[in-house]
Structure 1
């Protein structure tokens, strides 16, 4: 028997087309959800767009249905597609009035929970589940007697954050001590090795391989069920990579530099704890490739902040000046990179003009087409998968995107480490030959920061 799902408002705001994720089941949209979407759609916030998209998706389903069919349920098909066996309906206030009220009806969440309990009572032989991303609402519903309360996890690719791909594989002992069968060939200055696929677990394109003897380092360039082709990088060579006067302090930063400075890699994802060097490495590599090598024309720096849509308009000045409070981490990094110059402020002003560094709000990235630029997206752990998709699809010809984030510093009310957009793109792009992911293990900012990260 199919499941009956009741969707909360925040599910449709998180994923406006979420109704199509339940096509083999039945979906109920409480009238309270429609009322909340109506109030949100006119707000001066980015979430208003998601509310409007959700409303239009519901209108597409119900536009040809009669009032009786809407209450009973209509087929849940997208663009007339066949094969969807589920139905979607709207729970009216009149139907809810017949139910026993477990909570007072003055709060929208309470009305939704009351409606879910009513449907559960009407369908004792069927699984009835309330789907919400609000943790407190899930607790209230369970406490009121709701048997099945779930988070919306259609966009969740892993069950535990410990399973997230780190972008590298560390071998115990010597690499060559474990490899018995190897074919090597030289292509110009590069050396490629072909080894059996069983040497490392679950290999991915552009995944790094290092051993704990500090004598071998390589990157996966191709793999199949039997063989693994790796590019020999050399441990010392990887540790000697540098940009804008910055050298790696550990092998993880060396791997990050290798990915950042490779123009053939279009997407670099840096994940790691605070103080691991994500922003410093990204900015040093960006300045190196724009100013010194001229590979890109400009640097676009952007980040997500929970309150940015409300607060940015009240700040004085240009868009760059409005963004300055939220991008202080970038200016702090530029100060570190030029602290030994005779006049740090003059050097920073010159470099910002020379590199054409632009501070942009993520709210204004939609609809753009960015060409021949290096886009640096900071604090992207607070973005959803759909928001990150919007930004990634803005990148045009000759553009490199660097995404940095720390999954332990998520500020969003409806995101966790496993549902963050950062986690989503790490898993989705791990086999894309134009991307690389590196988890920066270890805090190098200071011994104070390192102790705090380990003990607090």
Structure 2
């Protein structure tokens, strides 16, 4: 029995979340109600980040439909075939939901959401041989759609790489007891100060490159540096040696910070992703290692610090000054960390000003990163849980030769109305880069800021 053809009716928030979403439905038909175009038109002129996505969506739709006649637009225009397995591409059409007659018992036409739901109901009634699916990220609209009689209502999850945040890669694996009790066969080779072990992959079937291995007994710490067939090559880092790592006078307070320092100070790792709760040391470790790499080691020429800028509470309006002065309130976490690093100095502010100039620390806005090429720099992207996958791609692709990027964020502190822990760009890059040889992920498990912060993280 062959599956019914599917018609997907898209809500506005789908195209705001991912402007090219209408290309992601393989060989199935996609319907964009006229109300969606109206909403995109009203959003595109707003002074917010979402207006850019609205404009991109409008241009993408226009590129697909520009050569079609009005009759073809209503009937459906073939979509670009992005999957070679599908010889019959889907079709994109615009549906004039403003022309629908108000039926008895139907939802009122006065509300935009209602008109989109009525479109799905109309198509469902007139296409009994097809499965009509309303796709929206609005939970309330999904409930209204089901209540109005739409048989199939779904969220859009093409960018969702994990089904539950608890399955997100932590960047390390912790063995119970003594690590060597789990090993049956091992070939070891010592080169210089480091020893490498060739182990069976059976002990960790889902192993990936640059994943750290530690045990409960605090006797072993290693990192996977190679995977081939059923074997994996583990570099023995040494538990005490890992805990002895330091940068700019900062020493790790737990093994998770030790693993983070190892990745942050490794010149062969171009992307380091730090996740974890508030107060686990993400920003402090990133800044300390950046200063160590730029000032002490001379591996890079400058430090660029940026972050997204959502309002947690009410906006305080426009801020005066240059780009760096406008970004200063948003990047107070960086200046706080600089104060911690230099609080023992005779003149803390003098030291901070000297280091800001010596390390060439620049505060930049995410909004102005497009089109840039960042060379020989350490880029610290703070609070990146509030960025979408597309925004993170824009920033990461700015990195040129000799640049190291540090992305940090806490998935429990998402301030965007359009993102969840599962659809955040931070979750996306953790999964996408988990087996890339030039990246490492470390989940900094444990709050070290204070007992108050630790209690709040666990109980609020």
Q: Calculate the TM-score normalised by the size of structure 2.
A: 0.95
Alignment partner of 1:388 out of 364, 389, 392: 392
Residue 238 (str. 1) matches residue 242 (str. 2): yes
1:376 alignment partner in structure 2:
380
Aligned length: 455
Contact 2:186 2:199 survives alignment (8 Å): yes
> Which segments of 5 or more consecutive residues in structure 1 lack a partner in the other structure?
none
CA distance in structure 2 between the partners assigned to 1:103 and 1:246 by the alignment: 61
Deviation of the 1:104 alpha carbon? 2.6
> Is 2:24 aligned against 1:33?
no
| Structure 1 residue 108, shift from structure 2 partner | 1.8
Structure 1 counterpart SS, 2:232: strand
Equivalent of 2:331 in 309, 321, 327:
327
* 1:121 is aligned to 2:117: no
| CA apart distance, 1:249 | 0.6
Secondary structure of 2:437's counterpart equals coil
C-alpha distance in structure 2 between counterparts of 1:295 and 1:97, whole Å: 68
Bigger mean CA offset, 264-273 vs 313-322: 313-322
1: CA distance, partners of 2:205 / 2:230: 12
The answer on whether the counterparts of 1:299 and 1:373 sit within 8 Å (CA) in structure 2 is yes
Classify the secondary structure of the residue corresponding to 2:24.
helix
* 8 Å CA contact 1:312, 1:323 repeated in 2: no
1:73-116 deviations in whole A, cap 9, x for unaligned? 12122599872432111111354236557333233222212222
Q: What is the match of residue 80 of structure 2?
A: 77
Shift of 1:51: 1.8
Structure 2 Cα separation of the partners of residues 173 and 2 of structure 1: 54
Name the counterpart of 2:20. Answer: 17
Q: How many angstroms apart in 1 are the aligned matches of 2:20 and 2:311?
A: 25
Residue 69 of structure 1 and its aligned partner are, at CA, apart by 1.7
Q: What does residue range 121-270 of structure 1 map to in structure 2 within 5 Å? A: 121-270=125-274
What is the distance in 2 between the residues matched to 1:287 and 1:122? 65
Are positions 1:51 and 2:54 aligned together? yes
Give the whole-Å Cα distance in 2 for the aligned partners of 1:124 and 1:326.
53
Q: Secondary structure at the match of 1:22?
A: coil
Deviations 1:138-170 (Å, cap 9, x if unpaired)?
Answer: 222223222222111001111111111100000
Q: Quick check: 1:77–1:84 contact (8 Å CA) kept in 2? A: no
1:421-436 counterparts in 2 under 5 A? 421-436=425-440
Alignment partners' CA distance in 2, 1:450 and 1:44:
38
- Return the offset for 1:356: 0.8
- Matched with 2:278 is 274
Contact 1:211/1:217 (<8 A) preserved: yes
Measure the CA separation in 1 of the matches of 2:83 and 2:295: 52
Runs of 4+ in structure 1 off by over 4 angstroms are 78-82, 98-101, 310-313
Q: Quick one: which of 379, 402, 406 aligns to 2:406? A: 402
1:363 aligns with 2:404: no
Cα pair 1:100 1:118 within 8 Å, conserved: no
SS of alignment partner, residue 106 of structure 1: coil
Q: Give the superposed CA RMSD.
A: 2.0
Cα distance in 2 for partners of 1:184, 1:207 equals 19
Residues 180-189 or 431-440, more deviating: 180-189
Match in the other structure for 2:451:
447
83 and 129 in structure 1: CA distance in 2 versus 1, 3 angstrom threshold = same
The answer to whether the 8 A contact 1:302-1:376 is kept is yes
Tell me, which stretches of 5 or more residues in structure 2 are unaligned? none
Query: Could you tell me which residue of structure 1 aligns to residue 90 of structure 2?
Result: 86
Q: CA deviation at 1:224?
A: 2.5
Shift of 1:248: 0.6
1:408, distance to aligned residue in structure 2 (A): 0.8
Give the deviation of 1:121 after TM superposition. Answer: 2.4
Per the alignment, residue 414 of structure 1 pairs with: 418
- Hey, what's the Cα distance between the residues in 1 that align with 2:388 and 2:50? 12
SS of 1:315 mapped into structure 2:
coil
Match of 1:291 among 289, 295, 302: 295
User: Alpha-carbon deviations, 1:302-328, whole Å to 9, x = none?
Assistant: 0012259x9798211111110111111
Judged with a 3 Å threshold, the aligned counterparts in structure 2 of structure 1 residues 131 and 80 are, in CA distance, closer, same or farther, namely closer
TM-score by length of 1: 0.96
Which deviations, in whole Å up to 9, do the C-alpha atoms of 1:165-223 show, x marking residues without a partner? 10000011111122121111122332111000111240010000001110100000111
Listed as ranges, the matches of 1:341-356 within 5 Å are 341-356=345-360
Q: Do the aligned residues in 2 keep the contact of 1:267 with 1:400 (CA within 8 Å)?
A: yes
Aligned to 1:454, the other structure's residue is in SS state: helix
Tell whether the 8 Å contact from 2:97 to 2:116 is kept in structure 1 after alignment.
no
| Contact preservation (8 Å) 1:283, 1:333 | yes
